Amino acid sequence: MKDVQNTPDTRNIALKEAGIKNLSYPITILDREDREQRTVADIQMSVSLPHHFKGTHMSRFLEVLTSSGCRFTGSTIPTVLNKLKQTLQAESARIRIEFPYFLTKKAPVSRSEAKMSYNCVFTGESTASTHDFVLTVTVPVSTLCPCSKEISESGAHNQRGYITMDVRTRQLPDGSFAMIWIEELVEIAEASASSPLYTILKRPDEKFVTEQAYNNPVFVEDIVRNVAEKLRADSRVTQFTVTAENHESIHNHNAYAVVEWELT
């Protein structure tokens, strides 16, 4: 049968990306406590397209994905990207894997257990000369306003906040990237806010987290600095962007702050 994608294109325009997106697919992720965790990801895969090719072969993205076993880490993603470049005769390849990651959270007093989800993204890119992998984790937290606490005779306003960390780690001699657990980033984020969030809270738990937040007020500016301080001290980390956003409880707008850092 005629291979239309490989027929010549005379417009002399190369494409940065051509591929598939919004693919819902089961994957397996490393889990610090249980070794592996199965979840469902939204996947985007693409390659560059030389100016002389009319199109890329979309079915081959699924073939590469399936043959990978759908087990994704900073070690396996470079292998998938190299396979994409080889299979599709491309100079560069990209993959984005977004998924919910579930952790068992125990309430601080009653120790009641329930699952809590965190939105995570693996982003990988490979060219002829460079390789890149970014782990993104978004953690919901509770924050209490230091200014509100200072000026009020009683109480202080608090809100739900979200801390998003985009983290790059060292590339190892074998081409993979140094491992940092999703759980580690969750712990860093929760320790940088006024209080963690929980799925189940009994009355003693609610009292505990309310008082914990009141005794630990933070601005969004404090949060990103707290996270940055911890990430900079980690020898595995080479670059990061941290964003904190509060869904304000007494305003009709959100407050946010961003910090970026790169190892020099």
Q: Residue range 144-156: average pLDDT?
A: 89
Among 105, 60, 78, which residue's Cα sits nearest to residue 197? 105
With H, G, I as helix, E, B as strand and everything else as coil, classify residue 37.
strand
pLDDT confidence tier of residue 241, bands split at 50, 70 and 90? very high
Q: Model's pTM, two decimal places?
A: 0.92
Angle between helices 182-192 and 220-232 (to 10 degrees): 140
Beta carbons of 97 and 72 less than 8 angstroms apart: yes
Model pLDDT for residues 17-60, shown as the tens digit of each residue:
999 999 999 999 999 999 999 999 999 999 998 877 777 888 89
In the block, which residue shows the tokens 């707290």?
226
**Is residue 174 very low, low, confident or very high in pLDDT (cuts 50, 70, 90)?**
confident
> pLDDT digit string (tens) for 180-239?
999 999 999 999 999 999 999 999 999 999 999 999 999 999 999 999 999 999 999 999
| Alpha-carbon span 184 to 103, nearest angstrom | 12
| Alpha carbons 89 and 91: distance in angstroms, whole number | 7
Q: Which residues contact 39 (CB under 8 A, 6 or more apart)?
A: 26, 27, 28, 29, 99, 100, 101, 102
Give residue 55's Cα distance to chain centre.
Answer: 31
Q: Give the residue, 155 or 206, on which the prediction is more confident.
A: 206
Q: At what angle do helices 77-88 and 58-67 cross, to 10 degrees?
A: 140
**Alpha-helical regions (H) of 22-57:** none
Give the C-alpha distances (Å, rounded to integers) separating 134 from 18, 122, 150.
21, 6, 39
Full residue range of the structural domain in which residue 29 is found: 4-262
Per-residue pLDDT reduced to its tens digit, 1-25? 655 566 666 688 889 999 999 999 9
CATH code: domain of residue 181: 3.10.270.10
Look-up of token digits 């009292």: 207
pLDDT of residue 175: 85
| pLDDT on residue 13 | 87
Tens of pLDDT, residue by residue over 57-91, are: 888 999 999 998 888 888 889 999 999 999 998 99
Tokens encoding 35: 């070794």
How far is Cα 213 from Cα 146, in angstroms, rounded to an integer? 10
**DSSP labels for 123-138?**
EEEE-SS-EEEEEEEE
Q: What is the pLDDT of residue 10?
A: 67
For the stretch 102-115, pLDDT in tens is: 999 999 999 999 99
Q: How many domains does the chain have?
A: 1
Element (H, E) at 116: strand 113-126
* Average pLDDT score, the chain: 92
Mean pLDDT calculated for residue range 121-138: 94
pLDDT at 5: 61
